[in-house]
Structure 1
């Protein structure tokens, strides 16, 4: 049976206490409520930014459509202006003047149709510009929120990191001189047992798994040498005897 000085085994409980506090600190660091808030806002920000890009593209397309509609209307207006000038001047034969009149009527209808297209394009552009401005405004607002929360997160992390660093320094002091075999076994069990590798035996109970040992097992344990490394039959952790816990 492996053995280690009884004093070292008792000191192991101090190591366990430090390790457990460090583990809890790391868990707090990884599960700060603010992390969920940031993740939710970043997800929303991603969707809004995609909407912003999409509306920016639509605005660009509609501006081109409006420009084309304006150009088409202007072409018709210019043609109608020339025809009106010729008609007013009375140049040409009666047949030619009648043809000009007919063409002006066609151009009038064409201009009305093109102006309707122009109006619809302008209304669509105005709506798209409003959507784009709204998306950009929301993106900017949420970006500010994320930055503020990130600053709070970083401050909380810094505080916890300092706590962990202090615990690591304390651990180095406590483990100094502890039997290497005992410490290696403890670290192995701690990794396999959810962070608890050693527990006190108090009033016939393993404080690691809360199992109450039967009288026969207790007698066997009490009969072992003080430096014998005892393990809990239920959870396998190191049972530390003689600790005032």
Structure 2
């Protein structure tokens, strides 16, 4: 393949621009905010699960309290009915004696149930406190996550604006280069980790950093000025300039 020496030198400009675009893409992928967001998202998700579990426990405890209070009320109501019958003296002596005995048992049952109510109330208070604390932590984690996302988005906007500018510079260079030279360069760039063209500088390929022997340099020097030379070691387009020494 042949290409004007000036076009080959412009290919180095294109390579520099493409390397800049690669750097910007790497910078976009490597923003510290990505790790912050991952960490904040994990913490937010964990706290959300804890809040849901705490709310479920609170609901269970509230229902347990309602049931315990209903049990107490039922015992109180039965004792009150029994006492009314005792006070009225209605019934046989044996029936009245049984009512007195039952009220004694109901009094003990009521005391036991009231203890249960107190114990449930303590657990309810603890559950409410936990829900409040976890909800506050969840709200804080939401703020932390949104702030990290905001910083990431601001960094994205800055990088993307620079990318658009660099792309315009690339278009200006690429549009004056021969299509076949661009095609070869693009293929090599994909194969060689983003570098398709490298300068020959003082006996060395700047793509693979290999220094050429005198015989190899003489062979390159013998090539026509418009010949597209390839590095024997890495295969990249080897661009000759005034500093190549050939």
TM-score for the superposition, normalised by structure 1: 0.95
Q: CA deviation at 1:202?
A: 0.4
Counterpart mapping for 1:17-166 below 5 A? 17-166=16-165
Q: CA deviation at 1:91?
A: 2.9
Q: CA deviation at 1:175?
A: 1.3
Using the alignment, how far apart are the partners of 2:85 and 2:32 within structure 1?
79
Look up the match of 2:196: 197
Q: Secondary structure at the match of 1:226?
A: coil
Using the alignment, how far apart are the partners of 2:242 and 2:115 within structure 1?
92
Using the alignment, how far apart are the partners of 1:107 and 1:81 within structure 2?
10
Conserved? CA contact 1:8–1:178, under 8 Å? yes
Name which of structure 1's ranges 172-181 and 125-134 shifts more when overlaid on structure 2.
125-134
Cα-Cα RMSD: 1.4
Using the alignment, how far apart are the partners of 2:233 and 2:133 within structure 1?
62
Task: String of CA shifts for 1:30-67, please: whole Å, max 9, x gaps.
Answer: 11001110110001101110111111111112111111
Using the alignment, how far apart are the partners of 1:54 and 1:206 within structure 2?
63
Structure 1 unaligned segments of length 5 or more: list them: none
CA gap 1:42/1:195 in 2 versus in 1, 3 angstroms: same
Structure 2 unaligned segments of length 5 or more: list them: none
Number of aligned residues: 244
Give runs of ≥4 in structure 1 deviating > 3 Å.
none
Q: CA deviation at 1:243?
A: 5.2
Task: String of CA shifts for 1:170-229, please: whole Å, max 9, x gaps.
Answer: 000011221111111111111121111111000000011111111111111111111111
